[in-house]
Copies of this chain bind each other. A is one copy, B any other.
Amino acid sequence: MEAAVPKISDFPVGKENTDYARYFSGRSWLALLTSNKDLNVPMFNVTFEPGCRNNWHSHSGGQILIAVGGVGYYQERGKNAVRMEPGDIIEIGPDIEHWHGAAPDSWFSHIGIECNPKINKNTWLEPVSDEEYAGAVK
């Protein structure tokens, strides 16, 4: 299915993100961008098909998102969703519950950085329902 992904950034798309599919509504693709463990900056490019988003979740070490292609959204629990376009950066503090994904009508790619990887743990929560998503991105 990789041929179905349009070119929306300069970064590799990788493979369909089947390992984490249970935490996503919709299809996503994942490319690992770094490998030197001494640097402590694991970095991925994540590509979401239109309408795709991940479940509510949090990272005990925090996360940084760098939008690199298309249009997406980031929402922190209890706040309005934030529209993301290439060049936008979101810093997500430790244990902040949030979700991110594509706009309903656009593919989206962001680089994701796992912060403090030596202590980081991800906590996956409930899906973002269709109603919740529609309300957030309208």
Contacts and interface: CB of A to CB of B under 8 A. Distances in A.
Interface of A: 9-12, 33-36, 38-41, 43, 61-64, 66-68, 85-87, 89, 91, 93-94, 111, 113, 115-116
B113 A41 contact: yes
Contacts of A33: 89
Contact of A89 (B34, B62, B63, B93): B34
Chain copies in the assembly? 2
Given A9-B87, A10-B67, A41-B41, 20 more contacts: A10-B85, A10-B86, A11-B87, A12-B87, A34-B89, A34-B91, A35-B91, A36-B62, A36-B91, A36-B93, A38-B62, A38-B93, A38-B115, A39-B62, A39-B63, A39-B91, A39-B115, A41-B115, A43-B89, A66-B111
Contacts of A41: 41, 64, 113, 115
A104 to B, nearest CB: 22
Contacts of A39: 61-64, 91, 93, 115-116
